[in-house]
Structure formats: C-alpha cells, structure tokens
Homo-oligomer: A and B are copies of this chain.
Amino acid sequence: MFEVTVAARFEAAHRLVGDFGPAARTHGHTYRLEVTVRGEALAPDGTLLDVGELRQAVDALAGSLHYTDLQEVPGLSGVNTTVEHVAQHCWQELASAVQGRGMSTMRVAVWESEDVGAALDAPLAL
C-alpha cells in the first residue's frame, strides 16, 4: 500500500461546551492538519496522487479555517468543536476532492499542539 501525506497549519479560536474545565473558555490553537491518502498502485508518472494537487485541496481547507472562530464555521456550527469533530469536518470537506481517483482510504489528522491530536481514518469511494 502506498501513502502520500500533505500537511498545513491554521490558527483558530474555539471553546468546548460541557464539563471540560479550562477548555470551556474561549481559547485557540495553531492547528496542524495532516492528510494521508492510500492506494495500491502508482500512476505511470510515479505518483499516487500529485502532491501539488493534494496541496491545493489541503491549503484551501486550511485557509477556510484560518483566523476563524470554529463555532462559526459552516459544518461545525451546532456541534462541539472537539479535535475529533474538527478532524471529521476536515475529512468530509476533503473527500470530494480525492474520491473516485482509485485511492482506497484517507486519514485526516488534526493536532491542537504537538502533543494532542485526533484523526479520522475511513474508506474512500474508489
């Protein structure tokens, strides 16, 4: 199985609703967004998916979250902005860009810091 990973960063505010201690206060992180796609075979040009093309999709997504309050982002409003939900949102936003290209799975990891992160790893429509 081959994998390609592209990462980007975004800076955003959020707060959790519920019994989460200091995380219930509005605060923020420099998030790291890591996107990995997997597939069995390389194209004749030696790519699983052109890194430049994946970079465009990842950067556009990171841009849509940069300098925002995550509570106000379409797709996250109305849900708790846990790092798990942010990873799920990013997975859903990216799926359309990479589906139907022969890749079998995608893992989207979101890190709030280098020591705390979450990911969603799920099958893609081939």
Across the interface, which residues of B come within 8 angstroms of A114, CB to CB?
7
Contacts A52-B23, A114-B7: A46 and B119 contacting too (C-beta < 8 A)? no
Distance (whole angstroms) from the CB of A123 to the closest CB of chain B: 10
Number of copies: 3
Q: Please tell me if the beta carbons of B117 and A5 are within 8 angstroms of each other in the complex.
A: yes
Q: Which secondary structure dominates where chain A touches chain B? A: mixed
Q: Please tell me if the beta carbons of A47 and B5 are within 8 angstroms of each other in the complex.
A: no
Contacts A21-B52, A23-B52, A52-B20: A85 and B118 contacting too (C-beta < 8 A)? no
Across the interface, which residues of B come within 8 angstroms of A82, CB to CB?
42, 45-47, 51
Q: Can you report 15 A-B residue pairs in the complex whose CB atoms are below 8 A from each other?
A: A2-B84, A3-B109, A3-B118, A4-B83, A7-B114, A17-B45, A23-B52, A42-B82, A45-B80, A45-B82, A46-B79, A46-B80, A47-B84, A48-B118, A51-B82
